[in-house]
A and B are shown apart, each in its own frame.
Chain A
Amino acid sequence: MRIFRYLKKYWFFALLAPLFMVGEVLMDMYQPRLMSEIVDSGLKQDTIDLIVNIGLLMLGLVAIGGISGVLSGVFANKCAFNYGNDLRKDVFNHIESLSFEQVDDFSTGSLVTRVTNDITQVSNVVAMAIRMIIRTLMQFIMGSIFLLAIDIRFGYILLVTLPVLLVIIIVFIIKVSPYFKKMQERVDDVNAVVQENITGARVVKAYTAEEKENKRFGKANDNLYNVNWIVIKRLSLISPVLSVILISGMIAIIYLGGADISSRVIDVSGQIGIVSGLGVGDIIAAVNYLNVLVNGFVMLALMFQMFVRGKASIDRLNAVLDTNPVVKQGSETFEEESLKGTIEFRDVSFAYPGETDEMILNHINLKINQGEKIGILGATGCGKSTLVNLIARFYDVNEGEVLVDNHNVKDYTFNALRGKVAMCLQKSELYSKTIKENICWGKKDASDEEVIEAAKIAQAHDFISSFPEGYDTKVAEKGASLSGGQKQRISIARAIVKKPEIVVFDDSTSALDLETEAKLYKAIEANLKDMTVITIAQRVASVKNCDKIIVLNEGEIASIGNHQELMATSPIYQDIYNSQLKRGDEING
């Protein structure tokens, strides 16, 4: 699998970790042997010296084993975490290089899970594979060898025990696993009710639905309880049942061993003696080995379960890494170009990938000059946002071409193209940093004066200054939470500080009251005359004073012109105008 290529760099660690692990298990395995020797030989032969000697040997071996174990851990963790680190960086990197449509396809939520949980899962699997798998496998194999070395007849016990264990584990996995999914669903149900009641507390109270909600929650809570109880019932069986099998094996060993010892007692002419063979110490050691090997066996089965879960994570990560970015940047920067801030759409058509039968934009032709203020109106889904997304090449056109400053956007490097354009989105994404850092996101080395100037134009300076910590207020911190309108204004300041040739307000003033919005546009006009401004809006008032207003309807330009022209010629515009500003003419005219 390609995802394990990242291990190559750490092959040395990946090799050492299991090697030292073998060392640890080997040393561990010798202990029951030596312990039985202490009991069998030492105590029998009445010599403290022997006990001390064997004891010291044992401690020495344990120390070596322990050091091997620690070293194995060092190497395994180095390997797994560095591996995870490389993988995480690459996946993150890759996500950043994907195009909008591809990110949309995955959904950002799922991408976050992939970078966080899935990578943790995979590096855990790696750590486990090079260490724990070897450990349990060794325990199982060495345990069996040592057990059989004591007496080959104990092999019969294994022949019975192990298949039974295997069947029981499989049965449990089949019986219990489906309930885990169900359990998660029930947990989600409970959480959904709680979430709804917290966010919708006003509505619940307004409709005096407290009792009703209690009942609804009670049902979800009962359902969760019932599934939990089923799972507990089944899980409770596992360890006792496994113990019964292990204990049966132990009793069998003790019985067979005891029978063997007593069968060797002979009575030679009144002299009682014993034929040498199996001793009590051997039996104790055998019981220990059985314990170790059965535990190893069960652990192996459980680890297999973890691998299955890890496999799902690996698949999800591979899906990301296997996705090649569809929008690839060009190589030119066109720095000497004298034109600044012109945009041209030449016969542009666009459909979202996989939905080619449904064109979002149809043969759009449009020319926008430097410093023009453009408004775009239209119903939801008419293609307004799509149109502006093509300018910064968030998507590629299906037909036609988009030109910025006379060059096809495909020929620009991303840096050059996106340096010209600033986008303000409706959902203003701010980061949990200070307000100043958020504004500087638009221009890394912006001076304080530049930041303040941008904030003033964005009508944000006043409220920012009213905070006790001013521009150093943390955005997400408790107590300083910002309203939707405040966030939008900060994101507008972020765009303005960049001093782009073109700025796009994609419905990014929706939460501002009209007075503030009007002040904002006035300030832009006064301070940034040469900047091309494209405003997408729901409100006629937001675009009424634009040089050109474009009315989009079902992917086509229905009309284009200034307010007066459109009022005279465009029925769609009139319609929108009347629904929002009816009776306005009585005042104006």
Chain B
Amino acid sequence: MANEEKSKNQAPQRPMGGGRHGYRPVEKPKDFKGTIKKISKYIGYSKGLFIALFIIVVIVTVLSLLAPIVQKNVFNDLWSIEEIGVAGFENAIYWIIVLAIVYGANCIVALFRNLVSGKLSQRTVHKLRSDLFAKFVKLPIKFIDNHSHGDLMSRMTNDVDSISNAISQVLASLISGVLLILGTLVMMLYYSWLLTIVTLVSTALTIVASMILTKKMGKYFKRQSALLGELNGHTEEMITGYRTVVAYNKEKDVEEEFYEISDRYTKTSIIAQIWGGSMGPVMNFIGNLTYVLIAIVGGWMALTHPWGLAMDVGTIALFLTCSRQFSRPINEIAQLYGQILTATAGAERVFEVLESPNEIDEGTIHLSYEDFQGNIEFKGVNFGYVEEKPVLKDFTLDVKRGQKIALVGATGSGKTTVVNLLMRFYEIDSGEILIDGINIKDIYKDDLRKTIAIVLQDTVLFKDTIEANIKYGNDNATFDEMKAAAILANANYFVKKLPEKYETVLSEGGSNISQGQRQLLTIARAVLADPKILILDEATSNVDTRTEKNIQDAMVNLMANRTSLIIAHRLSTIQDADVIVVMDQGRICEMGNHEKLLEVKGKYYDLYMTQFAGREI
């Protein structure tokens, strides 16, 4: 039953955490290319920023390429002073000034790069977030019922975050990395092909080594983060379920299990971190190896001029810088690759939501509120949430304007489903539902829903003031109208005791008022919406008896002059109904008023007697 499935609320959160190096297990997207295209479209909304970023990155790259050349000139000049005693410090000063300018310019441009890429990523995810939210409210209830709420939340939070990080960090680095690699390569070739080969060989070595290590590392980090997830899950379950643990004297067992997971996690973590920690030294070694090789080959060239190749100290120094400049972006891109994959996988989940079909509204008829009567007719309605598992079978019911209809029956008999269909949260498989003789499929959904108000078992209130919550269905109401609704709903008496009265902001989850008080507010909200049709779905099952009395009185006020559908376990709530519909496995098995149904001595009688005679069935 859909209503019950809703309670699977905080379902699986993706495991958090990972290594200290910000390592997160890499997820692979299914359609990498397609998803990248879709993200590009979003980035494209800020075309100006993107172009600006591109230009800035090109400038940064050019400056980074220039710096070593200028540095080379500085050192060459100083070298010749030291070596040959040429008194040319003015020349060196000239290059030092140029160097200062190049470096300084680099800093300034870097500032703009940070700003622009930050703005670009924020704008993009801002747009993505609002689109995603707009989609959430447009999705059919079926979609939301079929996904765990934790999963949907995680698309809005984790997935959007990883997209945001990718745009702000990856985009600029990727562009500049590629440019830097190409630029450095060209420059190195220009100065010496032989030293370029030396550099390339050692770079290849770096890549191979890092690939081997990453693979090794990845295995352990993946295991580590899975274990962390398990550990956190166990902790959460056992601490929130603390009362049950203690009540069943299970402290020892629970601890043993906890110890076992904790030990496994510790062992794996240590191995993972050791592998992770070895990356730095290995790279460092290869980097220094390159350095020494370049120095040796360069020195040899400077001394012997093989094949007539010239070499000077400045150029050697240049290559020493270049070799680092060359391997750094390659490593960076390798690391970014994982981040890109994760972000793309996240984006894929986001776009999956964005591309799923909206709730369809093929309505063509406007209902006018004034002329609306409130007659409801179900004609041979068949429906199932899953194919081949019908929940309602040939459901036929005629409700006249102003009548109070009660639906009773065991859990799973299809009571709540009737509501889901009338509100068009779900579409019927066959048959038809008519309101004032019009098929509800032909009515604009907004119009249909505006004429109906619902009060549900799970109270839904919003993190806003009490006033705003009551006015939820009717923004234009005045304060006095709002207060009148609250009085009618028996809510005024407790609201006026609150220090801030109607200005009180309800906390998330509503912990600052009681469950019963929350229900009174939802009734006040329904009163103010002034619907022609009212649906009360188990509105009092979560409250204690005294509050229930209050709520029942409020509901009587609310039902006056409206067509009402009441769903309840407790038969006392519905004895005054004009028609009581007893449901059993998707069919109506009995129908009539209270007295009549008792006379029949059928299912209703059994239910009723159960309630009064207690255990004797």
Q: Which single residue of chain A is at the shortest CB-CB distance from B444?
A: A208
Q: Which single residue of chain B is at the shortest CB-CB distance from A416?
A: B249
With contacts A217-B133, A258-B93, A442-B248 taken as known, whether A518 is within 8 angstroms of B78 at the C-beta atoms is: no
Q: Are B133 and A379 in contact (CB under 8 A)?
A: no
Spot the interface stretch: B32-40, B297-305, B341-349.
B297-305
Q: Are A243 and B110 in contact (CB under 8 A)?
A: yes
With contacts A198-B136, A207-B529 taken as known, whether A280 is within 8 angstroms of B313 at the C-beta atoms is: yes
Task: Report how far A519 CA is from B111 CA in the complex, Å.
Answer: 73
Would you give the shortest CB distance from B10 to chain A, in whole angstroms?
A: 10
The answer to whether the Cβ of A221 comes within 8 Å of any Cβ in the partner chain is yes
> Which residues of chain A are within 8 angstroms of B291 by Cβ–Cβ distance?
35, 58
Q: Which single residue of chain A is at the shortest CB-CB distance from B525?
A: A207
Spot the interface stretch: B47-55, B118-126, B488-496.
B118-126
> Which residues of chain B are within 8 angstroms of A201 by Cβ–Cβ distance?
136-137, 139, 141, 144
Q: Are B281 and A206 in contact (CB under 8 A)?
A: no
The answer to whether the Cβ of A3 comes within 8 Å of any Cβ in the partner chain is no
Q: Mark A199-227, 1 if CB is under 8 A from B, else 0.
A: 11111111111101110111001101100
Q: Are B130 and A221 in contact (CB under 8 A)?
A: yes
Count CB-based A-B contacts (< 8 Å): 439
> Which residues of chain A are within 8 angstroms of B288 by Cβ–Cβ distance?
31, 58-59, 62
Q: Are B295 and A42 in contact (CB under 8 A)?
A: yes
Q: Which of A73, A233, A519, A579 has the most CB of B within 10 A?
A: A73
Task: Report how far A250 CA is from B74 CA in the complex, Å.
Answer: 13
Interface residues of A, count at CB 8 A: 166
| Residue from B253, B452, B462 within 8 A of A444 (CB atoms) | B253
Q: Are B270 and A69 in contact (CB under 8 A)?
A: no
Q: Which single residue of chain A is at the shortest CB-CB distance from B84?
A: A272
Spot the interface stretch: A43-51, A347-355, A399-407, A450-458.
A43-51
> Which residues of chain B are within 8 angstroms of A485 by Cβ–Cβ distance?
411
Q: Mark A255-281, 1 if CB is under 8 A from B, else 0.
A: 101110110011000001110000110
Would you give the shortest CB distance from A184 to chain B, in whole angstroms?
A: 12
With contacts A115-B235, A205-B425, A418-B246 taken as known, whether A518 is within 8 angstroms of B87 at the C-beta atoms is: no
Would you give the shortest CB distance from A447 to chain B, in whole angstroms?
A: 18
| Residue from A56, A235, A284 within 8 A of B114 (CB atoms) | A235
> Which residues of chain B are within 8 angstroms of A295 by Cβ–Cβ distance?
none
From residue 453 to 476 of chain B, which have CB atoms closer than 8 A to chain A?
453-454, 456, 458, 460, 462-463, 472-473, 475
Task: Report how far A77 CA is from B270 CA in the complex, Å.
Answer: 6
> Which residues of chain A are within 8 angstroms of B617 by Cβ–Cβ distance?
515, 518-519, 522
The answer to whether the Cβ of B247 comes within 8 Å of any Cβ in the partner chain is yes
Q: Are B153 and A195 in contact (CB under 8 A)?
A: yes
| Residue from B17, B20, B138, B236 within 8 A of A127 (CB atoms) | B20
Q: Are A81 and B269 in contact (CB under 8 A)?
A: yes
Q: Mark B94-111, 1 if CB is under 8 A from A, else 0.
A: 001001100110111011
Q: Are B545 and A538 in contact (CB under 8 A)?
A: yes
The answer to whether the Cβ of A481 comes within 8 Å of any Cβ in the partner chain is yes
Q: Are A69 and B281 in contact (CB under 8 A)?
A: yes
With contacts A228-B122, A429-B241 taken as known, whether A522 is within 8 angstroms of B615 at the C-beta atoms is: yes
The answer to whether the Cβ of B214 comes within 8 Å of any Cβ in the partner chain is no
The answer to whether the Cβ of A143 comes within 8 Å of any Cβ in the partner chain is no
> Which residues of chain A are within 8 angstroms of B79 by Cβ–Cβ distance?
280
The answer to whether the Cβ of B190 comes within 8 Å of any Cβ in the partner chain is no
> Which residues of chain A are within 8 angstroms of B235 by Cβ–Cβ distance?
92, 112, 115-116
The answer to whether the Cβ of B316 comes within 8 Å of any Cβ in the partner chain is yes
Task: Report how far A81 CA is from B270 CA in the complex, Å.
Answer: 7
Would you give the shortest CB distance from B135 to chain A, in whole angstroms?
A: 10
Would you give the shortest CB distance from A508 to chain B, in whole angstroms?
A: 11
The answer to whether the Cβ of B255 comes within 8 Å of any Cβ in the partner chain is yes
Q: Are B107 and A583 in contact (CB under 8 A)?
A: no
Q: Are B7 and A232 in contact (CB under 8 A)?
A: no
Q: Which single residue of chain B is at the shortest CB-CB distance from A287?
A: B71
Task: Report how far A192 CA is from B17 CA in the complex, Å.
Answer: 23
> Which residues of chain B are within 8 angstroms of A218 by Cβ–Cβ distance?
130
> Which residues of chain A are within 8 angstroms of B110 by Cβ–Cβ distance?
239-240, 243
Q: Are B114 and A240 in contact (CB under 8 A)?
A: yes
Would you give the shortest CB distance from A134 to chain B, in whole angstroms?
A: 14
Q: Are A251 and B78 in contact (CB under 8 A)?
A: no
Q: Which single residue of chain A is at the shortest CB-CB distance from B138?
A: A210
The answer to whether the Cβ of A82 comes within 8 Å of any Cβ in the partner chain is yes
With contacts A244-B107, A525-B615 taken as known, whether A579 is within 8 angstroms of B242 at the C-beta atoms is: no
Q: Are A280 and B75 in contact (CB under 8 A)?
A: yes
Q: Which single residue of chain A is at the shortest CB-CB distance from B232?
A: A116
From residue 509 to 537 of chain A, which have CB atoms closer than 8 A to chain B?
510-511, 513-516, 518-519, 521-522, 525
| Residue from B237, B281, B572 within 8 A of A70 (CB atoms) | B281
Q: Are A418 and B247 in contact (CB under 8 A)?
A: yes
> Which residues of chain B are within 8 angstroms of A59 by Cβ–Cβ distance?
285, 288-289, 292
Q: Are A392 and B247 in contact (CB under 8 A)?
A: yes
Q: Are B546 and A77 in contact (CB under 8 A)?
A: no
| Residue from B118, B126, B265, B570 within 8 A of A232 (CB atoms) | B118
Would you give the shortest CB distance from A253 to chain B, in whole angstroms?
A: 10
With contacts A197-B136, A202-B454, A258-B78 taken as known, whether A237 is within 8 angstroms of B248 at the C-beta atoms is: no
The answer to whether the Cβ of A67 comes within 8 Å of any Cβ in the partner chain is yes
Task: Report how far A254 CA is from B78 CA in the complex, Å.
Answer: 9
Q: Are B233 and A206 in contact (CB under 8 A)?
A: no
Would you give the shortest CB distance from B274 to chain A, in whole angstroms?
A: 5
Q: Give the 3 A-B CB pairs with smallest separation, nearest first.
A: A73-B277, A66-B281, A236-B114
| A116-B231, A511-B541 known, 11 other contacts, Cβ within 8 Å | A63-B285, A66-B281, A92-B255, A196-B462, A214-B134, A221-B129, A244-B107, A254-B96, A515-B606, A525-B615, A580-B545
